[in-house]
Amino acid sequence: MTRVELPYQLFDADNHLYETKDALTRYLPKEYAGAIQYVEINGRTKIAVLGQISEYIPNPTFDVVAKPGAMEEYFKHGNPDGKSRREIFGEPMRAIQAFRDPVERLKIMDELQLQRALMFPTLASLVEERMRHHPELIHAVIHSLNQWMLETWGQNGNFVHSDRIFTVPVVTLPIIEKAIEELNWCVVEHGAKAILVRPAPVPGFKGMRSFALPEFDPFWKRVVELDVLVTMHSSDSGYSRFDAEWDGNSLEMLPFKTNTFAMTNQWRPVTDAVASWVCHGALNRFPELKVAVIENGSAWLEPLLQQLSDVYKKAPEGFGFRDPIEAIKQSLYVSPFWEEDLERLSSVIGADHVLFGSDWPHPEGLAEPARYIHEIKDMPLADQAKIMGGNLAGLLKV
């Protein structure tokens, strides 16, 4: 492990745990038994949701995984040789205890020079999309997962472990009363400092709709009262349905199959999610909201701001006469990919709205998170300190 000279402490906005096979079901009420199953297919374990086998996460047991940072070269330099995704992932590894246990994770964090980290689930990213026609089931499975995370990654009935690992529970929104109940359970009863909300339209009994519509105001009002950070982490936002209509094939994204059409649209979900915050008015009605966009990069931001600026010029009344750019810059925090132009992003939204995130231990992230500071070495030291941990510490008040 390469040691990096650090003039400040690191607070990583994007770490991940790997769930065990019972993470979604250990606390699932009996009436929902069978909604989540693990099945053997040709000698490999797969997850089935409502009887439908999913390939979204190819190895849902996480017993064998790609090495942390396996795709660093791919993201920094591209893929001129046209290697397959399997080739880019390289030789896999057996999961280590630090992927599943907070005490062991703290030891690895010391080696990685991480003082603190937000800890996100991994398997959770497939749940809501595959249950979108069953709102009550979504709430039940998400609460079961949150109970598992609290028990496994929490400490003393709190989602915070040793004041260093801040596990982020999921709050799903289909039934608003249940969403508020879950929010209170996570934050008030069990000390969560941040919540995870999917960057996608919300499923419901009458179909899909934006989380930023007035219907959800009671939920966002409670979020503001609790002063809790809302994170929107990259997930399955359901957009593969639209790609499939162009491709004429499976409705599910396949992890190892190259799909250039889908790649050109990969930032559409986060673009639409952030646009919805202002177009549907939630940031107007609740300007105190703090929203962190995690593991979605930042390439989508400038084009979106330009588009919103043009729309505002033509239809200011549609935004309640509040400039949407101003609203976004006040409430939005972005965790860019390490290989992006971080100085430029800081010039767009301000260094105080940029969050360092390594995506460790996922293959898409950095094997050694502290090396992130090399990407901002030419920025003022004060800005570096904000990006690498100060901003997030301030948001969580820790």
Q: What tens digit of pLDDT does each residue of 23-52 get?
A: 999 999 999 999 999 999 888 999 999 999
Mean pLDDT of 227-233: 98
Tokens standing for residue 230: 């809302």
Do 126 and 240 touch, CB atoms closer than 8 A?
no
Tokens standing for residue 335: 């965790």
Do 377 and 103 touch, CB atoms closer than 8 A?
no
Containing 40, the helix (H) or strand (E) segment is strand 36-41
Percent of the chain whose predicted confidence (pLDDT) is above 70: 98
Band the pLDDT of 261: cuts 50, 70, 90: confident
Contacting residues for 263 by C-beta, under 8 A, at least 6 apart: none
Interatomic CA distance for residues 124 and 129, integer angstroms: 10
Containing 45, the helix (H) or strand (E) segment is strand 44-49
Tokens standing for residue 393: 């510490």
Interatomic CA distance for residues 215 and 236, integer angstroms: 23
Mean pLDDT over the full length of the chain: 94
Residue 321 half-sphere exposure toward CB, CA atoms < 13 A: 0
Q: Please state the φ and ψ torsions of residue 195, each to the nearest 5 degrees.
A: -125, 160
pTM, entire model? 0.95
CA 157, chain centre distance (Å):
23
pLDDT of residue 277 exceeding 80, the answer is yes
Do 318 and 299 touch, CB atoms closer than 8 A?
no
pLDDT of residue 117 exceeding 70, the answer is yes
Interatomic CA distance for residues 226 and 43, integer angstroms: 47
Nearest to 278 by CA among 268, 266, 291, 265: 291
Interatomic CA distance for residues 222 and 219, integer angstroms: 5
Q: Please state the φ and ψ torsions of residue 286, each to the nearest 5 degrees.
A: -135, 70
Band the pLDDT of 207: cuts 50, 70, 90: very high
